[in-house]
């Protein structure tokens, strides 16, 4: 460790990350994608964005439309498969700022494509290389401190897929705690679902909002001014209620938080 708390890891020169930017991030929250690029770039990673990507197919899969989901999944696999092919000899990864979409690729694709051995083969090649953002930083790059600083009191909402499908719980917290100037406070029921659940939130809005109410209470109870999470789905749900009720707590994706340096942050 040097005086700034940065871990002095020597990076292998050609570590490369292909960004798997979810459709939600692309369309609504491009700042999250940008945050991810800035953090990875700061760490000396070579970042690429396979531009043909659109969506992983999760909305259709979760809604029961498997045929539609399959067409989208196959396209997705071929785009990332081709990208990896280009640099097969080097350390290349696919990194995604969403536990949910990473789960779609690593867990649900297997089910979706179970009747197509060829697709499963192709899938195996990319699935092994794919990581959710915080998981990648901590477990692959072995970095908890990524040189970020932020002035504020934050709390963390565990998104369900990241926590329960991918088993990622400590990684985001380690990253948050290493941010300079930050105060981290665990909220009660941090691992309870916020009520988003994709189309669930539209199919059963009353139930969804009732679940969300409990989450909002926990967030307020923590006394944090910022709530961090690793999935924009949850944050759009939580943020939507906070802004509707004019509650002065902001929502921020972990990648945006980690992109903060210097005296940024309020």
Partner 1 sequence: MTYERINFETDSERAVGDEKLQHALVNVTNRFRSARNKASSEVPGWDELRTLAREIKKETIENLDRYLIMLEENVKKAGGHVHWAKDGEEACRIIIEIARKNGVNSVVKSKSMATEEVELNSNLERAGIRAVETDLGEYIIQLAGEHPSHIIAPAVHKTKDDISRLFSEKLGVPYMSDPADLTKVARERMRSEFLSAGMGVSGANFAVAETGTIVIVENEGNARLTTTVPRIHAALMGIEKIIPRYNDLSLFLTLLARSATGQKSSTYVSFITGPRRESDADGPEEFHLVLLDNGRSGILANGETRESLYCIRCGACLNNCPVYRKVGGHSYGWVYSGPIGAIINPQLLGIDKAPELPFASSLCGACRDVCPVKIDFPKVLLELRHEVKETKAETGKGRELFFERLAFRLWRTIVTHERLYGFFSSLMYYVQMPYRGESGGLGSLPYPFSRWTRDRDFPAIAEIPFRERWKELRKEIGEGSTK
Nearer to partner 1 (CB atom), residue 176 or residue 235: 235
Rule CB under 8 A: say whether 72 interacts with partner 1. yes
Rule CB under 8 A: say whether 239 interacts with partner 1. yes
Rule CB under 8 A: say whether 59 interacts with partner 1. yes
Query: What distance in Å separates the CA atoms of residue 20 and residue 95, rounded to the nearest whole number?
Result: 6
Rule CB under 8 A: say whether 33 interacts with partner 1. yes
CB 260 within 8 A of CB 148: yes
Shortest separation between residue 17's beta carbon and partner 1, angstroms? 11
Sheet of 92-96: strand order equals 46-48, 16-19, 92-96, 130-132
How is residue 154 written in tokens?
């934050």
Counts of helices then strands in the chain (DSSP H, E): 14, 8
Nearer to partner 1 (CB atom), residue 3 or residue 64: 64
Shortest separation between residue 190's beta carbon and partner 1, angstroms? 13
Choose which of 17, 18, 20, 60 interacts with partner 1 (CB under 8 A).
60
Choose which of 2, 8, 10, 64 interacts with partner 1 (CB under 8 A).
64
Nearer to partner 1 (CB atom), residue 191 or residue 264: 191
Choose which of 7, 23, 177, 184 interacts with partner 1 (CB under 8 A).
23
Residues 6 or more apart whose CB falls under 8 angstroms from that of 35 comprise: 97, 253, 255, 256, 257, 258, 259
Query: What distance in Å separates the CA atoms of residue 135 and residue 155, rounded to the nearest whole number?
Result: 18
How is residue 197 written in tokens?
């659940």
Query: What distance in Å separates the CA atoms of residue 32 and residue 256, rounded to the nearest whole number?
Result: 6
Rule CB under 8 A: say whether 37 interacts with partner 1. yes
Query: What distance in Å separates the CA atoms of residue 242 and residue 229, rounded to the nearest whole number?
Result: 15
Choose which of 7, 43, 63, 174 interacts with partner 1 (CB under 8 A).
63
Nearer to partner 1 (CB atom), residue 164 or residue 174: 164
Q: How many residues bind partner 1 (CB under 8 A)?
A: 72
In angstroms, the Cα distances linking 240 to 108, 245, 247 are 28, 9, 10
Query: What distance in Å separates the CA atoms of residue 257 and residue 265, rounded to the nearest whole number?
Result: 9
Rule CB under 8 A: say whether 41 interacts with partner 1. yes
Tell me, what DSSP letter sits at residue 240?
Answer: H
Rule CB under 8 A: say whether 206 interacts with partner 1. yes
Shortest separation between residue 3's beta carbon and partner 1, angstroms? 26
Candidate ranges 16-24, 124-132, 145-153, 254-262; the one touching partner 1 (CB under 8 A): 16-24
Please, which of residues 118-157 interact with partner 1 by CB under 8 A? none
Choose which of 81, 236, 250, 261 interacts with partner 1 (CB under 8 A).
236
């Amino acid at each position: 460790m040097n005086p700034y708390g940065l871990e002095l890891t020597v990076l292998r020169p050609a570590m490369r990350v292909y960004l798997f930017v979810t459709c939600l991030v692309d369309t609504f929250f491009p700042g999250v994608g940008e945050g991810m690029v800035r953090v990875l770039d700061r760490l000396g990673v070579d970042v690429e964005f396979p531009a043909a990507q659109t969506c992983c197919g999760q909305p259709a899969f979760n809604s029961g439309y498997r045929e539609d989901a399959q067409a989208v999944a196959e396209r997705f696999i071929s785009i990332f498969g081709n990208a990896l092919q280009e640099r097969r000899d080097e350390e290349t990864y696919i990194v995604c700022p969403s536990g949910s979409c990473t789960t779609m690729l690593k867990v649900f694709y297997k089910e979706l494509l179970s009747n197509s051995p060829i697709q499963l083969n192709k899938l195996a090649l990319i699935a092994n290389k794919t990581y959710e953002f915080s998981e990648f930083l901590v477990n692959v790059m072995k970095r908890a401190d990524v040189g970020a600083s932020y002035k504020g009191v934050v709390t963390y909402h565990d998104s369900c897929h990241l926590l329960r499908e991918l088993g990622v719980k400590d990684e985001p917290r380690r990253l948050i705690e290493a941010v300079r100037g930050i105060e981290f406070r665990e909220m009660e029921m941090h691992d309870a679902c916020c009520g988003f659940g994709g189309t669930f939130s539209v199919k059963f809005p009353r139930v969804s909002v009732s679940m969300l109410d409990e989450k909002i209470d926990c967030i307020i109870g923590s006394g944090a001014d910022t709530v961090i999470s690793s999935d924009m789905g949850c944050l759009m749900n939580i943020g939507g209620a906070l802004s509707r009720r004019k509650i002065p707590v902001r929502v921020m994706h972990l990648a945006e938080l980690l992109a903060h340096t210097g005296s940024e942050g309020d």
